[in-house]
Amino acid sequence: MNVATILKAKGTEVETVSPDMTLGDVARLLAAKRIGAVLVMEGQRLSGILSERDIVKAIGHSGVEALERSAREVMTSRIVTCGLNDSVDELMDRMTEGRFRHLPVVENDRLAGIISIGDVVKHRIAETVMETEALRLYIANS
């Protein structure tokens, strides 16, 4: 199973914000959409990713005043991405090594979607269930 399969099931919609949006506005967007991260875009260019964790860290350092800071000031600008042909195992390794929960999907220098750790776990479990059922049928028919 690969990224393209996951996106086919989940869809390619991605919430994006401008670099000048305040952390308070980003936090409200995350809460309203019930998501954990947004991509920060400058036109068609991916310039960063901003997660709930980033916002909490900013508040921890600066207090409530951090909510007036811009996304640009707090976002992660060294973005790790994945491609449509990357496997679920590759995603799990990348997310575990980097200790992050969201990966933008980039194909041919264009944003194609976003994958969360929840998406990866859901599809890995489905894959395992299918494998188990196939083995069960094989044993039953032997």
Residue 42's Cβ-side half-sphere holds a number of Cα atoms within 13 Å equal to 8
Q: Where are the domains of the chain?
A: 3-140
Listed range (23-27, 74-78, 136-140) with the worst mean pLDDT: 136-140
| Mean pLDDT score, 119-127 | 85
**Span 2-23, mean pLDDT?**
93
Is residue 27 pLDDT above 80, yes or no?
yes
CATH for 3-140, among 2.130.10.10, 1.10.3720.10, 3.10.580.10, 3.40.1280.10?
3.10.580.10
**Distance (Å, rounded) from C-alpha 36 to C-alpha 21?**
16
* pLDDT for 99 beyond 80: yes
What is the C-alpha to C-alpha distance for residues 95 and 91, in angstroms, rounded to an integer?
6
The CA distance from 105 to 107, in Å, is: 7
Query: Looking at residues 15-33, what average pLDDT do you find?
Result: 97
User: What is the model's pLDDT at position 142?
Assistant: 74
The DSSP output letter for 72 is H
